[in-house]
Amino acid sequence: MRHRSSVEAHHFEALGTSCSLFGLGVTRSQLLQGEFWVRELRARITRFSDRSELALLNGAEGAWVDVSAEMEALLWEALRAYELSAGLVNAAVLPSMLAIGYTRSLAAGASTAKLEDARPAPRLPDVLSVQRGRARLELGCGVDLGGIAKGWMADRLAARLGSNALANLGGDLRANGPGPNGDGWPVGFAGVTVMLRDQGAATSSVRRRRWGDLHHLIDPRTGLPSQTGLEEVSVVAATGCDAEVVAKTALLLGPGLATAYCAAHAQAWWLS
């Protein structure tokens, strides 16, 4: 049976990008609480603040540090992303991020690059240990969760908003439930509309967050910005986080292998 009711929507700027929340049967207050949840979690996982949970972990010099349940879950997700991507989505690229000058929010501008300091990333499972309520990084290593955080947060935020909701955090999104007309949430995907129901979508690109010849997407095999011949990949997958990981992996694989990888891991894809 098809049903129609009005969609409650809320738009805001966070995570350095535009975010949108949609829901049926949700209140304005719930959407605002969703925005607050994003801002509160962002403050804990950003690497641009010395007081964030992530900064404390990165600066612990090899010691175990206590982490919140959300941080613990994100770190486990980073390890899962590493496995799903055969090592291409590797959160341990922080030293390279710093070497290319991505030391602060790009709104403040990149700092001077020291490409000679960039180096291939270590295997994430070798340098990151996670236990219940605590985590540890090997001395000299650092992690950046920007590669998976938006998709992971979109998955959780959509679930928090109820059984018929959509959370879009900077293009990484998760749609739950039958949508406004019972046939899924209509989502723009590389120029066409797809109806998503309990699915996620994401886009990985080197066309944004770039300065000069450099951009933010590090290839962990070289420690330098990716140059594979692909500039943008959009993917639909089972979850927002999976879509984000698959899109990034395909982009890093390049045009020769991306199609085969997407065929095995995605439900829809677009390569450019």
Which token pair is 218?
Answer: 């590090």
Q: 231-246: string of b/e by CB count within 10 Å (b at 16+)?
A: bbbbbbbbbbbbbbbb
* Interacting span for another protein (CB under 8 A) from 29-37, 49-57, 110-118, 232-240: 232-240
* Interacting span for another protein (CB under 8 A) from 62-70, 71-79, 121-129, 261-269: 261-269
Q: Which is nearer to another protein, 48 or 64 (CB)?
A: 48
Answer yes or no whether residue 162 interacts with another protein by CB under 8 A.
no
Q: Which is nearer to another protein, 95 or 171 (CB)?
A: 171
Which residue among 3, 9, 36, 126 contacts another protein (CB under 8 A)? 9
Helices (H), the chain: 28-45, 53-58, 69-84, 94-99, 124-127, 149-160, 240-253, 255-265
Which residue among 89, 99, 173, 252 contacts another protein (CB under 8 A)? 173
Answer yes or no whether residue 271 interacts with another protein by CB under 8 A.
yes
Answer yes or no whether residue 146 interacts with another protein by CB under 8 A.
no
Answer yes or no whether residue 270 interacts with another protein by CB under 8 A.
yes
Widest Cα–Cα separation across the chain: 62
Nearest-approach distance from CB 181 to another protein, in angstroms: 8
> Site residues for another protein, window 66-105 (CB under 8 A)?
none
**Count of residues that interact with another protein, criterion CB under 8 A:** 55
Nearest-approach distance from CB 112 to another protein, in angstroms: 25
Which residue among 67, 78, 110, 236 contacts another protein (CB under 8 A)? 236
How far apart, in Å, are the Cα atoms of 239 and each of 26, 114, 157, 166, 194? 21, 36, 12, 12, 15
How far apart, in Å, are the Cα atoms of 10 and each of 103, 166, 184? 31, 11, 19
The answer to whether 55 touches 198, Cβ cutoff 8 Å, is no
How far apart, in Å, are the Cα atoms of 59 and each of 15, 51, 137, 144, 230? 22, 10, 9, 12, 34
Which token pair is 107?
Answer: 């709104």
The answer to whether 225 touches 100, Cβ cutoff 8 Å, is yes
Answer yes or no whether residue 258 interacts with another protein by CB under 8 A.
no
Interface mask toward another protein for 180-209; x: CB under 8 A: xx-xxxxxxxxxxxxxx--x-xxxxx-xxx
Nearest-approach distance from CB 228 to another protein, in angstroms: 16
Interface mask toward another protein for 21-60; x: CB under 8 A: -x--------------------------------------
Which token pair is 22?
Answer: 């949609």
SS3 at position 197 = coil
How far apart, in Å, are the Cα atoms of 7 and each of 22, 27, 109, 124? 6, 10, 37, 41
Return d(Cα 210, Cα 212) in angstroms, integer.
Answer: 7
Answer yes or no whether residue 1 interacts with another protein by CB under 8 A.
no
Which residues of this protein are in contact with another protein, per CB under 8 A?
Answer: 7, 9, 16-18, 20, 22, 150, 166, 168, 170-173, 180-181, 183-196, 199, 201-205, 207-209, 232, 234, 236, 243, 259-260, 262-264, 266-272
